[in-house]
């Protein structure tokens, strides 16, 4: 499951005198490459240990987690079901089309019903007509203690000294896993929230990590670079994503990774990092959703 480290040399990094690498988790698999597979690894192992025959989860219509669960579940001979927030968008939505082609079943629910599942995950079974005997439940975004263990392994793959590691953030699973992974590493974690009011994630991560949560190793950006919130974007962000691909050959999705890289390069440009700093940014995947995302201003 190892992914390569790719140097990113841009005018901003050269002027600031810092070294920037992108850990290309997006290259782990052509369909579901990204952080989600790390989150699913130990969840699927647990599902198989419990001798269950399916995976049940929930997410938004463009969720990276949904397509990853569908693909990884099928590879392990498991049925997959997902509760999807919002109206049915199967025809127009490449993420759901790909997941459906992999055999995933969907239950589309209102935002109110979805919030109820978030608060009481056991409701997912009745809502999807699934039994606990047959289905293993994975929460939104794949975030739980098994996910933390899977993501934490990523840090050991970085076989060089580094000063900072950066990640986009949604539900907090990758944030938690990286913080656990750098527990014994002299490095700091930079987290760029893609959600409006993303401060809530601090409590979520602290609860997941318990004694492994070290706030002194953290810099969390919850409002500067979220461009209006989850799934929202502005022309400035789209222009940046296009420019980054032209300069590096790397496609960033604008929902998570585009926002993180925009913020990280902004911090580099303004002298936030001292000269000689080595920064590793994580590409968490998600480009499959970008294929079908066509904002009105494009």
- pLDDT tens for residues 116-174? 998 999 999 999 999 999 999 999 989 999 999 999 999 999 999 999 999 999 889 99
Q: What was the pLDDT predicted at 180?
A: 96
Task: Tell me if residue 19 falls in helix, strand or coil.
Answer: strand
How far, in Å, CA of 229 to CA of 150, rounded? 27
H helix runs in 3-86, sequence order: 11-16, 35-49, 64-75
**Distance in angstroms (rounded) separating the CA atoms of residues 35 and 283:** 8
User: 88 pLDDT band (50/70/90 cuts)?
Assistant: low
Q: What is the pLDDT of residue 260?
A: 96
Residue 294 has pLDDT above 60, yes or no: no
Please give the DSSP secondary-structure letter assigned to residue 196.
T
Distance of CA 136 to the CA centre of its chain: 21
What's residue 296's pLDDT?
33
Look at residue 30 and tell me whether its pLDDT is greater than 80.
Answer: no
pTM of the shown model: 0.90
Residue-wise pLDDT tens digits, 201-234: 899 899 999 988 999 999 999 888 988 887 788 8
The token pair at 239 is 């222009």
By percentage, how much of the chain surpasses pLDDT 70?
94
79-85: strand order across its sheet: 105-109, 79-85, 54-60, 135-137
Domains within the chain, CATH numbers bracketed:
5-31+145-290 (3.40.50.1100), 35-142 (3.40.50.1100)
Task: Single out the residue of 134, 133, 140, 103 nearest to residue 119, CA to CA.
Answer: 140
Per-residue pLDDT band for 5 (boundaries 50, 70, 90) equals: very high
CA dihedral (258, 264, 268, 273) in degrees, to 10, reads -160
Residue 97 CB partners (closer than 8 Å, separation 6+)? 90, 91
Q: Residue 210: left (phi > 0), alpha (psi -120 to 50), or beta?
A: left
pLDDT of residue 227: 87
> Among residues of the chain, what percentage have pLDDT more than 90?
72
What pLDDT shows up at residue 297? 32
Burial class (CB within 10 angstroms; exposed 0-12, middle 13-18, buried 19+) of 202: middle
């Amino acid at each position: 499951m190892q992914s390569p480290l790719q140097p990113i040399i841009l005018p901003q990094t050269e002027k600031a005198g810092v070294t920037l690498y992108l850990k290309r988790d997006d290259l782990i698999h052509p369909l579901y490459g990204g952080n989600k597979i790390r989150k699913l690894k130990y969840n699927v192992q647990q599902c198989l240990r419990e001798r269950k025959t399916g995976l049940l989860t929930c997410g938004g219509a463009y969720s990276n987690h949904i397509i990853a669960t569908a693909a990884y579940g099928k590879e392990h001979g498991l049925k997959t079901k997902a509760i999807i927030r919002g109206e049915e968008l199967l025809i127009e939505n490449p993420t759901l089309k790909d997941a459906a082609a992999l055999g995933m079943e969907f239950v589309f629910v209102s935002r109110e019903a979805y919030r109820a599942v978030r608060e009481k995950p056991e409701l997912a079974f009745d809502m999807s007509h699934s039994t606990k005997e047959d289905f293993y439940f994975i929460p939104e975004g794949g975030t739980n203690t098994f996910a933390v263990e899977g993501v934490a392994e990523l840090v050991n793959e970085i076989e060089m000294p580094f000063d900072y590691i950066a990640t986009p953030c949604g539900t907090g699973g990758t944030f938690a896993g990286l913080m656990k992974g750098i527990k014994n590493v002299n490095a700091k974690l930079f987290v760029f929230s893609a959600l409006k009011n993303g401060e809530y994630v601090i409590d979520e991560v602290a609860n997941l990590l318990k004694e492994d949560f070290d706030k002194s190793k953290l810099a969390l950006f919850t409002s500067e670079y979220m461009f209006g919130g989850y799934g929202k974007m502005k022309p400035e962000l789209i222009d940046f994503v296009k420019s980054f691909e032209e300069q590096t050959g790397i496609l960033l999705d604008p929902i998570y990774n585009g926002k993180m890289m925009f913020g990280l390069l902004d911090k580099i440009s303004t002298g936030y990092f001292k000269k000689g700093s080595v920064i590793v940014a994580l590409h968490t995947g998600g480009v499959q959703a970008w294929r079908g995302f066509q904002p009105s201003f494009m």
